[in-house]
Amino acid sequence: MAVLVDLANTIAEFRKLKIAADAAIAFVQHGPYSLEELQVVADDNYEEFSSYGEFYKDLTFAERLEKRFGRAGDGQQYHHIVTQGGVNEDKIPPELLQNTDNVIPLPTLLHEAVNAEYSELMAGTKMTKYQWLQTQPYDVQREEGLKILRELNILK
């Protein structure tokens, strides 16, 4: 019985991986993109939120009608250009982090590649790029986040 459960779990994981791979391939085939093409904007209106939960909620259908955005899509995740965690959670007003200019959907596999860039050590320091960016003002963090997306050929 345990073997069947393991097999079912393995099949489910492979299915998720296929969905993620298909999303990444489709994304790359049509890229790179302008930032405007990636932004989640309803009716061409900029929106900001008091929390990520306000931006994205996995709620019932009735509750979703009250929210502007739901899931990023199959095989995709939302990415914050200026990261929302760490020191930024207390240092930067939520409206600057949780808005339609800062949160974009990316295929999960590309999102993991972006996150790997943030994990690299900064030259001449013992800090990761993520740790170093947390010491910088919002504008520097945003420019570096956009630079990473350009270097990975996600943005034009």
pLDDT value, residue 57: 54
Mean pLDDT of 10-31: 79
Average pLDDT, the chain: 82
Distances (CA, A) of 33 to 27, 73, 74, 112, 113: 9, 17, 19, 18, 17
pLDDT value, residue 34: 87
pLDDT value, residue 56: 59
pLDDT tens digits for range 79-118? 999 998 889 989 999 889 888 899 999 999 999 999 999 9
pLDDT tens digits for range 43-88? 567 777 767 776 655 544 444 434 556 777 888 899 999 998 889 9
Q: Cα dihedral sign for 81, 77, 92, 121?
A: negative
Instruction: Name the residue type at position 79.
Output: H
Neighbours of 53 (CB within 10 A): 12
